[in-house]
Chains A and B, each alone.
Chain A
Amino acid sequence: MRQVTGLILLLVLVALLVWGVLPPIMRDFGYPPSDMDDYIIENAQEETGSNNVVAAVLFDYRALDTLGEATILFTAVMGVLLLLRTLKRKEESS
């Protein structure tokens, strides 16, 4: 019973995803809305001096996102090291 209910809900979810991606809802592939990106692509060379626009977005226009991402990486690495170390100590004591 649970399996059948889950399958029906999953099919509804997939149908919603596919419906939302087809042309009347989603705009055509290859023609995105691009006001902000046009500004960034035109002015990135004068404002940041970088030829690589992706690096300019990553480290200048949206650098706060990169700071948060670095925080997440730091926290995950610390969590992995901490978990493995406590596991070793618990095995020694038991």
Chain B
Amino acid sequence: MLSKIVRTVANQLILFILIFGLYVIAHGHITPGGGFQGGAIIVSGVIMLLVAFSSKELKKSLRERVLSIMESTGALIFAALAFAGIGTVFFYNFLVGTPIFGRIPVPGPGPGDIWTGGVIPLMNFAVGLKVIAGLSAVVLAIALFSSGEEVEE
């Protein structure tokens, strides 16, 4: 566990890192970014918490069982969205043209519209959940193991 100044600054900073990561995930279909990049940003925030507090402190609020369930949920949402378009073809973008996320932008350069993209924003959220949970579980497991703590499933 590091000094009190580092812990206080990390406590304040994690909020902004979470908001920036969620922004990158949510705008993945109109600006540079997406599920992988935003997930990596949030996992960097988790690593900052892991350095500032010790892994023993972080274990109380971040259970590996919950992370495992989150990762499986992301994978299931991804596969379900893939199977939902199987009436036409596997991974068909069935939401284009419908009211939800279905607007078609004006062709060519222009300002972005958040209600476009079909299943792409939903898949960004699923992949982001998967990356956050998976990489956090790996980092937390290695930190717990190297400090001699108990690693639960």
Contacts and interface: CB of A to CB of B under 8 A. Distances in A.
Do chains A and B make direct contact within the complex (CB under 8 angstroms)? yes
Given A48-B118, A52-B29, A60-B91, A81 B34 contact: no
A interface residue count range (under 10 / 10 to 19 / 20 to 34 / 35 or more): 20 to 34
A88 B151 contact: yes
Interface string A71-83: 0011011001100
A55 B138 contact: no
A9 to B, nearest CB: 36
B112 A49 contact: no
B124 interface: yes
Given A49-B105, A60-B93, A55 B29 contact: yes
Nearest to B144: A84
B134 A77 contact: yes
A58 to B, nearest CB: 7
Contact of B120 (A48, A67, A84): A48
A84 B107 CA distance: 51
Interface of A: 45-52, 54-56, 58-60, 63-64, 66-67, 70, 73-74, 76-77, 80-81, 84-85, 87-88
